[in-house]
Structure 1
Amino acid sequence: MKASRHLEVNQTSDIKNWCSQTPNPEPCEYFLSQKLNYHSPIKQKSDFFTISKQLALERALKAQSNIISLGPKSRNAREKAAWVDCLELYEYTLHRLNKTIDPNVKCSQTDAQTWLSTALTNLETCRAGFTELEVPDNLLPLMSNNVSKLISNALALNKVPYTVPSYKHGFPTWVKPGDRKLLQSSSAPKANIVVAQDSSGNYKTIKEAISAVSSQSGSGRFVIYVKTGTYKENVEIKLKNIMLVGDGIGKTIVTGSKSVGGGSTTFNSATIGK
């Protein structure tokens, strides 16, 4: 009994010591004490960083489960709109958190900072939707569940120093040579699909073209040429390697009409969202 109590005291002290290095020690201590057993002390900062990300992921999964259960309880269209956004945003958050933990995914310190920051921003966007639509925020405690604080802790532990962005030929170095050639070309790249309101193309709306691309295969850029016209639609792109090309300013116009006043959140009101 004495040995067991001694180990428990040491573990509690160890947890307090590590969590004191974070901006939100209370949830860190609580969830960490639930996670660790007496035979798994934290030996170094990299281990603590990994555990902190795991804690955030576990609580995010729990919060997502709570969000799903709240859907049928939405009392009106505005509450439903905010809920739908949060459901989607938590999917993105879980995806980003998983990428920072998955041993099969290449994740530099800078990548971790970017993905954790994105995950945290998603949760703030979820919260903002309730505020914008003036929906009572009594649901938010179930939907947040200390996730934001735990992600903030992981961000604080990562501490990536600022580096000046590097450029090559006027483009950020992360832009691949093939993409740079597409952007620098004086003539429009060859289109895979043409959108035209006068029926002279493959489709009359951008949404139809995006939907068609989802069934295509290949890893290169898929170019969608949108001819002159005013396209009154909100376009959401959930695919990679899509390039939209128009006929120029004032010729190819894409315009949506969603707004907070009309019952949409800012997150869901973008004319073109990626």
Structure 2
Amino acid sequence: MGDPISKRKGLIAACLSTLLVIAVIVAIVTTTGGEGGISHSLGSTNVDSTTKSVAAICSTTQYQETCHASLEGANTTDPKKLIETAINVAVEKVSNALRQSSLMKEAAEDPMTRQAFDVCRDVLENAVDDLKRSVEQIDAVEADTVGEYVADLRTWLSAVVTNQETCVDAFENTTGDTGQEMRNLLRTAMELSSNGLAMVTDIADFVGSLQLEDVLGGGRNLAAGGEEEDVVERRLVEALNSTIVVAKDGSGNFSTINEALASLPKTNNGSQIVIHIKAGVYNENVDIPKGLNKIVFIGDGMNATRITGNKSVAAGVQTYYTATLIVSGEDFLGKNMAVENTAGPDGHQAVAVRVSGDRAILFNVRMDGYQDTLNADTHRQYYRNCTISGTIDFVFGNSLSLFQDCTFITRKPGPKQGCMVTAQGRSDPKSNTAIIIQNSRFTAEPALLAAKPPVPAYLGRPWKELSRTIIMQSEIGGFINRTGWARWIEDIGLDTCYYVEYGNRGPGADTAGRVTWKGIRKVTAEQVKSWTGGVVYRNDTWIKASGVPYVPTLLPQKSAN
């Protein structure tokens, strides 16, 4: 007899090969009629099979007219080929916007406007790269890797959407109507990117509906918990034997972090490169560029190794470029260090750390600032035993980020300012992004607690209309306003955000006085499991392989309000 596991995989592969074809048929049958609609009879001779397939693949997208236009002239019924075609059109449109923005920059006189175009150049280049690698993976789906395949595609296409939004947002502090011109230029590209994300998400939904995750590497059966601390330490000590050493006193290979990074090849997709940053204060803005992957920073402790900078919007720098540490390379691991932005409350937006690279892990890292301390920008990120301090929106961005055993310290802001811990920036209903905080602590520095009159402090506010934040099994201090969540501008996001508090404890965890927006959700124990690491990442082996402690499930329930 044959191997039963192989037979099962063969059956799954056969199911997957017909899955999207079935989806096409279902969509055609269920699509409602109307002006400009198509014939809905499967036996109709008036509508060819390609038109049916295009109608089906576009049926769940937000921008159906744009979807149909992008697939005009397509001559295939293969849904994967149709998705590939749609994404290729998006590549063309984003590339065109990139070229046009370069021309528009030449006419700009305002320094912040010129910087805004620089932001657009960088993030649109990232968008094009993520679109292109999405196309490359369209034909790569196999039974053994479909969970990872779908997770990658959703992550990359969610980042494409975010990066285009970042381009437009960069014009908020500029003069004139250039920002609106840029939004108009990007409109079709943004619609196409959203449609591509919707198409890929449908694949994920079909896979989930067949409950194939357990067999296909979905991560639900992974054992709870990461490796013991001594195992992690042993691995890191072993790595230090072959590291690049940065030391202020000249005892290492380099005296600055940037010198160490400059010595490396511009791209790295092989083994990890470990950089030991010895105790000291490093006054430099550090940028790990895209393509420089698998970089490991190991400091001598949160209170020993510190990277410091002071760039800010008040000093004329775009928020995107203010970060003291920028991580754009993939598979970054940072441990035992501190990063700060010392611009202070008068600096307005002033980022300490911006993480844009996929599969980034920060472990025992302290991040200090005021407004916008941590930009959890795009892709997948994991934070463990980290401390983040700040005032306004000090954890923001639109990545898929999980924080475990972290401490969020709210600081005293400037005059007439309030405090919001989170500002999540989800804008597309198909994006897989969220800020998820588990088994962590919300505390305040003494200066804020002693402030007269008291400073209003909140768990977060909806930066974008579909802002999504989940806080579970965490301790919330009594300094948090009893309403819990703050408005952004007027009623933006109040009905469409997704905010969950579950199983929390502490004097600030009582939800009886919370705001009653439609976006405030009540979930059951079973429902909240969908926000644990083993589920949201689908494939979380990148965390487990790091040796960093990690729990992919809910923790045993502690006493909660």
Q: TM-score, normalised by structure 2?
A: 0.41
Q: How does 1:54-203 map to 2 (within 5 A)?
A: 54-102=88-136, 106=140, 108-133=149-174, 136=177, 137-141=179-183, 143-159=185-201, 160-161=204-205, 165-166=219-220, 167=222, 170-171=225-226, 185=235, 187=237, 189-203=240-254
Alignment counterpart, residue 24 of structure 1, candidates 63, 67, 85: 63
Deviations 1:55-105 (A, max 9, x none): 211211211111222232221210111111110111111111111112698
CA contact (8 A) 1:190 1:223 kept: no
- Aligned AA for 1:245? I
CA contact (8 A) 2:71 2:82 kept: no
CA contact (8 A) 1:222 1:241 kept: yes
- Give 1:189 shift: 2.1
- Aligned AA for 1:236? D
CA contact (8 A) 2:87 2:196 kept: yes
- Give 1:190 shift: 2.2
Judged with a 3 Å threshold, the aligned counterparts in structure 2 of structure 1 residues 91 and 168 are, in CA distance, closer, same or farther, namely farther
CA contact (8 A) 1:71 1:83 kept: yes
CA contact (8 A) 1:93 1:122 kept: yes
- Aligned AA for 2:272? R
The farther-off stretch of 159-168 and 57-66 is: 159-168
- Give 1:235 shift: 0.7
Judged with a 3 Å threshold, the aligned counterparts in structure 2 of structure 1 residues 199 and 143 are, in CA distance, closer, same or farther, namely farther
The SS at the match of 2:300 is coil
The farther-off stretch of 181-190 and 127-136 is: 181-190
- Aligned AA for 2:248? Q
- Aligned AA for 1:85? V
Aligned pair count? 254
- Give 1:200 shift: 2.0
Deviations 1:130-159 (A, max 9, x none): 114566414314641411111111111112
Looking at structure 2, the residues matched to 58 and 207 of structure 1 have their Cα atoms a distance apart, in angstroms, of 35
Judged with a 3 Å threshold, the aligned counterparts in structure 2 of structure 1 residues 218 and 13 are, in CA distance, closer, same or farther, namely closer
Judged with a 3 Å threshold, the aligned counterparts in structure 2 of structure 1 residues 101 and 232 are, in CA distance, closer, same or farther, namely same
- Aligned AA for 2:161? L
Judged with a 3 Å threshold, the aligned counterparts in structure 2 of structure 1 residues 105 and 118 are, in CA distance, closer, same or farther, namely farther
- Give 1:18 shift: 5.1
The SS at the match of 1:43 is coil
- Aligned AA for 2:61? T
The farther-off stretch of 243-252 and 253-262 is: 253-262
1:50 aligns with 2:84: yes
Question: Is the strand fraction higher in 1 or 2?
Answer: 2
The SS at the match of 1:219 is coil
Judged with a 3 Å threshold, the aligned counterparts in structure 2 of structure 1 residues 215 and 78 are, in CA distance, closer, same or farther, namely closer
- Give 1:41 shift: 3.7
Looking at structure 2, the residues matched to 138 and 217 of structure 1 have their Cα atoms a distance apart, in angstroms, of 38
Looking at structure 1, the residues matched to 250 and 176 of structure 2 have their Cα atoms a distance apart, in angstroms, of 43
Judged with a 3 Å threshold, the aligned counterparts in structure 2 of structure 1 residues 50 and 197 are, in CA distance, closer, same or farther, namely same
The farther-off stretch of 17-26 and 146-155 is: 17-26
Equivalent residue for 1:206?
A: 257
**Structural RMSD (CA):** 3.2
Looking at structure 1, the residues matched to 223 and 325 of structure 2 have their Cα atoms a distance apart, in angstroms, of 28
- Give 1:116 shift: 0.7
- Give 1:171 shift: 4.2
Equivalent residue for 2:306?
A: 253
- Aligned AA for 2:154? Q
Judged with a 3 Å threshold, the aligned counterparts in structure 2 of structure 1 residues 241 and 73 are, in CA distance, closer, same or farther, namely same
- Aligned AA for 2:225? G
Looking at structure 2, the residues matched to 228 and 168 of structure 1 have their Cα atoms a distance apart, in angstroms, of 36
Judged with a 3 Å threshold, the aligned counterparts in structure 2 of structure 1 residues 200 and 216 are, in CA distance, closer, same or farther, namely farther
- Aligned AA for 1:198? D
Higher relative contact order (CA 8 A, sep 6+): 1
What are structure 1's unaligned runs of at least 5 residues? 1-8, 173-179
The farther-off stretch of 208-217 and 260-269 is: 208-217
Looking at structure 1, the residues matched to 231 and 104 of structure 2 have their Cα atoms a distance apart, in angstroms, of 48
Equivalent residue for 1:4?
A: none
Question: Is the helix fraction higher in 1 or 2?
Answer: 1
- Aligned AA for 1:77? P
- Give 1:54 shift: 1.6
- Give 1:50 shift: 2.0
Equivalent residue for 1:273?
A: 326
